[in-house]
Amino acid sequence: MYKKKNNQMNINKMKYTVLSTVYERDKVDWLKQSIDSMLQQTIQPSEYLLLVDGPVSSDIRNFLLSYKRKFKQVKVIFFEKNRGLGPTLKDGVEMAKYEYIARMDSDDIAVKDRCEKQLLTFLMNPKLDIVGGNVAEFMEDISHICSYRILPESDPAIKKFARRRNPFNHPSVMFKKNTILKAGNYRERHLCEDYDLWARLIINNAQCYNIQDFLLYMRINENFYKRRGGKKYLSSMLSLKKEFYDMGFYHFKDYFISCISHIMVCLIPNAMRHIIYTKILRK
């Protein structure tokens, strides 16, 4: 009982930043659900960075500014031009005031104790550098769950899994700022900015963990599967894989299988890609 009470007192002293990006296609209702789910965490954030990547509607702008006025921890930063996720998150990591940074997407919904669970995990194992969790993918509202993305738990299992596939659910992660900076921070990588960063973290021997609970409801639609196909995405991913093979991240077998798998998934029709993601790559 004393240990539990002592841990709770220590968690309440831990400060963290929420880092989220906003785009012109976002919807105010989705933004509200996402932001509220983080502001209403059992351990509330000390800082909430909302980085607006390029022009947005007046409705979105006014909504964000209203939250900035209402909540002292909310900071809204507007960028005139759309630069993409990688460069925007890079700036966000550098701006973050606190060592612990929780990523969040502007259309997802976090469970109420997501950040408490992650902070407790860091508290119990201070050597950890990044803590993710499982997600439930939904359409329209969280009563319509389509699939679950369940990932390996332990550091060795995560690093083995990473040789073939992305080992973290990006909007579910909480990481240490200094670790991200030492690995080179986010970079410009079309639709694989997160996998690019995770691989560099692993190369730097970062300690990884995935909580085996659902920390997040991830919003998807038909474009979710469409974006994971096409020549532009394939070119970006193959270029990244070749770079990391040259750096020793992959053994040849893993590199070859990973490349062939991505080629097949990217070049098949979207309807077939939908089936592969929901029936094979998800649970």
pLDDT digits (tens, 9 = 90+) for 130-150: 999 999 999 989 999 989 999
- At 231 the pLDDT is 85
Residue 2 above 80 pLDDT?
no
Mean pLDDT of 5-15: 78
CATH 3.90.550.10 for the 2-220 domain, yes or no: yes
pLDDT value, residue 230: 81
What gap in Å lies between CA 60 and CA 78, rounded to an integer?
Answer: 12
Q: How far apart are CA 248 and CA 115, in angstroms?
A: 34
Lowest mean pLDDT among 18-22, 153-157, 208-212, 234-238: 234-238
- Using DSSP's 3-state secondary structure scheme, residue 54 falls into coil
Would you state the pLDDT for residue 1?
38
Q: Report in angstroms the alpha-carbon separations of 21 from 5, 12, 54, 122.
A: 35, 26, 10, 25
- Is the pLDDT at 197 greater than 50? The verdict is yes
Phi and psi at 235, nearest 5°, equal -60, -40
Task: Kindly state the average pLDDT of the residues 188-196.
Answer: 94
pLDDT at position 6, please? 62
* 262: pLDDT strictly greater than 70: yes
| Per-residue pLDDT reduced to its tens digit, 17-30 | 999 999 999 999 99
C-alpha distance across the termini of the chain, in Å: 37
Q: In this structure, are residues 96 and 11 in contact, taking their beta carbons and an 8 Å threshold?
A: no
pLDDT-derived band at 12 (thresholds 50, 70, 90) equals confident
Locate the domains of the chain by residue range: 2-220, 222-283
The mean-pLDDT minimum among 173-177, 195-199, 261-265 falls in: 261-265
Contacts of 243 (CB under 8 A, 6+ apart): none
b/e burial code for range 227-258 (CB count within 10 A of at least 16 → b):
ebbeeebbebbeebbeebbeeebbeeebbeeb
Confidence label for 9 from pLDDT (cuts 50, 70 and 90): low
- Has this prediction a pTM greater than 0.85? yes
**Amino acid occupying residue 208:** C
At residue 5, the pLDDT reads 57
Q: Which two tokens stand for residue 217?
A: 């409801």
